[in-house]
Chains A and B, each alone.
Chain A
Amino acid sequence: MTSKHKHQPPHWANRFLRWYCPNVLLEEIEGDLIESFYRQLKEKGISAAKIHYILEVIRFCNPVTFRKAKKLNFYPHFTINTTAMLQSFFISSIRNLKKNKTYTVINVSGLSLGIASCIVIFVIARYETSFDDYHSKADRIYRVNLNQKHPDGRHFNGFNFSPLAAAIREEVTGLEAVTGVHCLWRYQINKENDVYEDKYAFFADQEYFDVFDVKWIAGNQAQALTAPNTVVVTDVFAKKFLGGMDKALGNTFLLENKVTLTVTGIVAAPPTNTDHPYSILISFPTLADFLPESIDNWKTVTAGATYVVFNEDTQPDRIYAQFDKIIAKYLEKDFARDTQFFLMALNDNHDRNGEYNNFTYDFPVPLMIILAIVASMIALIACINFVNLATAQSLNRAKEVGIRKTLGSNRFQLILQHMSEAFLITLMAVITGLALAKVGMLKLNAHFDGDFLQFNFLQEPSILLFIAGILLFITLLAGFYPAFILSGYRPVWALKSQKNSGRSKGLSLRRGLVLMQFIGAQILILVTIIMINQINHFKERPMGFDSEAIVLLPYLMANEKAENKDLQNTKFGHELQRVSGILSYTFAYDTPIGGDRVEFYGQGGEDNKHRGTINYGDASYLQTFNMELMAGRNFSPDELQISPEVLVNQTLVKTLGIESPEAAIGAIYMVNGHELRIRGVIKDFYTQPMRSKIDPFTLQYKSEKFAGAAIRIATDHVPETLAGIEKAWKSVFPDYLCKYTFMDELLNRRYGFLNTMFTFLSMGALLGIFIGCLGLYGLVSFMAIQRTKEIGIRKVLGASVSGILKIFTRESLVLILISFVIAAPMAHLAGIALLMELPERVTPGVGIFVLTLAATLCIAGVTVGYRSFRAASQSPVDSLRSE
């Protein structure tokens, strides 16, 4: 007997049992458990008995127990007139919302902004993750990526050798279909005397249709892409350039002034969420004509990708083994050693691309997560508003609660009432939020120039479900606490109308919540500013060359022979000289941040290879891009077609192991099997926009490589100058479109990831601080109303307006200061984490933090100050009269 009193079943398990177990069953279950516990205690000892007890308690928590309890519950239910009750709740909610208009407006606008940002982010995430999911074989399609080891590290390439598809088709078993594509990002077509331009032409073979889903409209699908010089066009293309769908079949046009194509089929334009947004599909055999160097080219990779479809039962291991055979068979020996193929699921080619490239653009998952975090922070700040305002207001509603309770409402019903009020507000916010989200999406679509984000929430169950989820979640999150507090008032206390008691408790919670809001908002602001700083750093660091006011004209007669090209260049050069406003122009292969990757070696011999870039340009290259020559001589203006003497940058000189630029003049090194002699050394410049590493750079004069002109223009009279350039172009190349781009645009695009993140973050920061201030405003107004009399008396007793202002603003400002102290280190860490992968991370300076603090204090100060000034300047006569 004594042992029984010494050992008891675990308390918390018991408490859990009592919590969940219906009363009718509690006695017998508890009795059985206790009896069994002491039995176990005797047989197996205390710990075994305890464990047994706990397990049993958990096991009893099952649906059968509850069902049984329901049946046993023979007390007659009170039947409440639920409809009337809900109706009354609804009416009182609406009355209450009407009565407190400020409160309603603040809540609805805050929440709707939060909800709108959640919806927009959801739609974006859904769109970006849906890339290429629509193909019926999507789960079996893989892209063959290229993974190569180079002296300077691994190179990841989503593109692959052009002849690879044919080789796989021949050598690899276990695949249902194989297709190779080659992409022209921009192309021009000539039809009769007109020249047009469009985006995304894909060379594709006949098996393309076995791999990817293509919706066929007209033409013979089985044979459309087998012959050279055939093309399948989309309906959009047919309407735009060929005079309609009925005229398209059999029509011909000239591509890039190189090959004539005959239309053999019409397909529906692909949806936008694909990595192959083709406007035309050109038969793959045509590529041999179009790009002769692609034939049997197992050395360099241009813009071709290879896709395979697995058989249902194929395992990747089996394919990899066969890939090794292909590598060994087709690639050069030392090249083959460093090359691997890697299969990447088609669905990953947009959001989990890693360092592999693709045809369109990447939207990495981490970016999505950041966006989701920003959106949920905004929503959270809005929810806090709701909780805050509702609790602040709770005192005004204590009487209502008291009367309801006296009349027999139980706590559950009261919670239901306040929840239904929260639901009503959230519902209004959701409806407004939907409208806002729609507007936001239209704006985004317009910004990215397309129709990407679809928002037909009535047709799409996923969005509908998401919105319902948001509605429920926010109702619970925002409504639960106020409902809990309000319903907890004891009627006696509530009806006695002693308003002062209980205030301090709610106040400290409200302070905590405001603190949280401002921590969130300030983190967003700080991170945004850190981003701005980083982007500016990249944009403003001296690149070592100029990118401003440089017009790039690509596309210069890529198909002409070298002699012809020289002639054309000279002609075009003459025309350009007549255009006023041109400071300098150069014919070149690429800009200083472009060029081809090559391997080179110097005295160290072939075992000591390095990687760098090579570019081709003429004598005015340095002048046009404003690059500085440190030693040696530039090319002479009357250079021959190709010169073995080249210009290099300092890094290359260092890489070759030569001490000074001067000493490097005349040095000989090998690039791609050619001997080159250094004739001049260029001062180092950044060869890549977002890297701090500088690649060894070679500039050679080789006119057959020139692929465009770069023209530096004066910044005044830009439109006239551009018109002049266009005219000059037309007179020399009437068959080609004059498609110039500005170099700084090109550079800007390279910062894309940072830019996107920055746009969303700054939007988030703005919304966050705005909603936070809304809440602050609401709180202060409640405080002002509640303390009207106090203010009146203070004024009567001689308090000044500024003194009263101080009472009100001091607290808010202190809260913001505290929140800043918490937010600053967090934002610092977040900023560092966000920019982790970038070189030359800018450490956020003190200035940023001071700026943020000042801005927040200012915004919040104005908000609070405005409201409290109104309260403070009220005449005491009015405020004291009301009774």
Chain B
Amino acid sequence: MKGTYLGEFEELVLLITGILYDNAYGVTVAKAIGNQTGRSVSLSAVHTALYRLEEKGFVKSMLGGATQARGGRRKRIYVITTAGKLALDEVRLMRNRLWGMIPQKPAT
């Protein structure tokens, strides 16, 4: 189905969004990706990925609370949807299946 394909970076962002549960927004996602994978990603890239995921229906968003650290500005919190979880499952299943198909080389 067009539009539901999950890119590598999108998959990563989606996973992180799942991990962060109810505290996933631009900054935290970017930071978590940095911590977990060592990749430094830009905020706009994360936002772009989140927008796309939302368009595909894998996450949903709402405006959350403001903090002092943000100069009193509200943040948009992203939560993974059921469709998002299913998509992740599907990707994992496909990976596992493909892994299983790699012929084991006899040790020489």
Which of A's residues lie within 8 Å of B, judged by CB?
27-36, 38-39, 55-56, 59-60, 62, 64-65, 67-68, 71
Given contacts A28-B63, A56-B42, A59-B45, contact A34 B73 (CB under 8 A): yes
Which residues from chain A contact B51 at a C-beta distance below 8 Å? 64-65, 67-68
Q: Which of B27, B45, B67 has the most CB of A within 10 A?
A: B27
Which residues from chain B contact A60 at a C-beta distance below 8 Å? 43-44, 47
Minimal beta-carbon separation of A73 from chain B (angstroms): 14
Which residues from chain B contact A67 at a C-beta distance below 8 Å? 51
Verify if B84 is at the interface (C-beta below 8 Å from A).
no
Instruction: For A32, give its contact among B47, B48, B52, B63 (CB under 8 Å).
Output: B47
Q: Which of A36, A62, A65, A67 has the most CB of B within 10 A?
A: A36
Which of B's residues lie within 8 Å of A, judged by CB?
25-27, 30-31, 42-45, 47-48, 51-52, 55, 63, 66-67, 69-71, 73-76
Which residues from chain B contact A31 at a C-beta distance below 8 Å? 66, 70-71, 73-75
Minimal beta-carbon separation of B56 from chain A (angstroms): 13
Q: What are 17 pairs between A and B in contact, CB < 8 Å? A: A28-B63, A29-B26, A30-B71, A31-B70, A31-B74, A32-B27, A32-B47, A33-B43, A34-B70, A34-B71, A35-B27, A36-B27, A36-B43, A59-B42, A65-B47, A65-B48, A65-B51
Q: Is the CB of B69 within 8 A of A35?
A: yes
Minimal beta-carbon separation of B98 from chain A (angstroms): 31
Q: Is the CB of A55 within 8 A of B75?
A: no
Minimal beta-carbon separation of B52 from chain A (angstroms): 7
Which residues from chain A contact B55 at a C-beta distance below 8 Å? 71
Q: Is the CB of B26 within 8 A of A28?
A: yes
Closest to A36 in B: B27
A71 to B51, CA, bound (A): 10
Q: Is the CB of A39 within 8 A of B48?
A: no
Give 10 nearest A-B pairs by CB, closest first: A31-B73, A59-B44, A32-B26, A31-B70, A28-B76, A60-B44, A68-B51, A64-B48, A34-B71, A35-B70
Other A-B pairs beyond A31-B71, A32-B27, A36-B26, 18, CB < 8 Å? A28-B25, A28-B26, A28-B63, A28-B73, A29-B47, A31-B70, A31-B74, A32-B43, A32-B70, A39-B27, A39-B31, A56-B43, A59-B43, A59-B45, A60-B43, A60-B44, A62-B48, A68-B51
Q: Dominant SS at the B interface?
A: helix
Instruction: For A64, give its contact among B30, B52, B70 (CB under 8 Å).
Output: B52
Minimal beta-carbon separation of B28 from chain A (angstroms): 9
Which residues from chain A contact B70 at a C-beta distance below 8 Å? 31-32, 34-35
Which residues from chain B contact A33 at a C-beta distance below 8 Å? 43
Which residues from chain A contact B75 at a C-beta distance below 8 Å? 28, 31-32, 35
A29 to B47, CA, bound (A): 9
A55 to B42, CA, bound (A): 9
A64 to B54, CA, bound (A): 12
A91 to B105, CA, bound (A): 82
Which residues from chain A contact B27 at a C-beta distance below 8 Å? 32, 35-36, 39
Closest to A31 in B: B73
Q: Is the CB of A27 within 8 A of B74?
A: yes
Which residues from chain A contact B63 at a C-beta distance below 8 Å? 28
Closest to B73 in A: A31
A65 to B71, CA, bound (A): 21
Which residues from chain B contact A35 at a C-beta distance below 8 Å? 27, 67, 69-70, 75
Closest to A28 in B: B76
Closest to B26 in A: A32
Minimal beta-carbon separation of B68 from chain A (angstroms): 8
Which residues from chain A contact B31 at a C-beta distance below 8 Å? 39
A27 to B52, CA, bound (A): 19
Which residues from chain B contact A30 at a C-beta distance below 8 Å? 71, 73
A30 to B70, CA, bound (A): 8
Minimal beta-carbon separation of A267 from chain B (angstroms): 56
Q: Which of A29, A30, A31, A67 has the most CB of B within 10 A?
A: A31
Which residues from chain B contact A28 at a C-beta distance below 8 Å? 25-26, 63, 73-76
A59 to B49, CA, bound (A): 13
Which residues from chain B contact A71 at a C-beta distance below 8 Å? 55
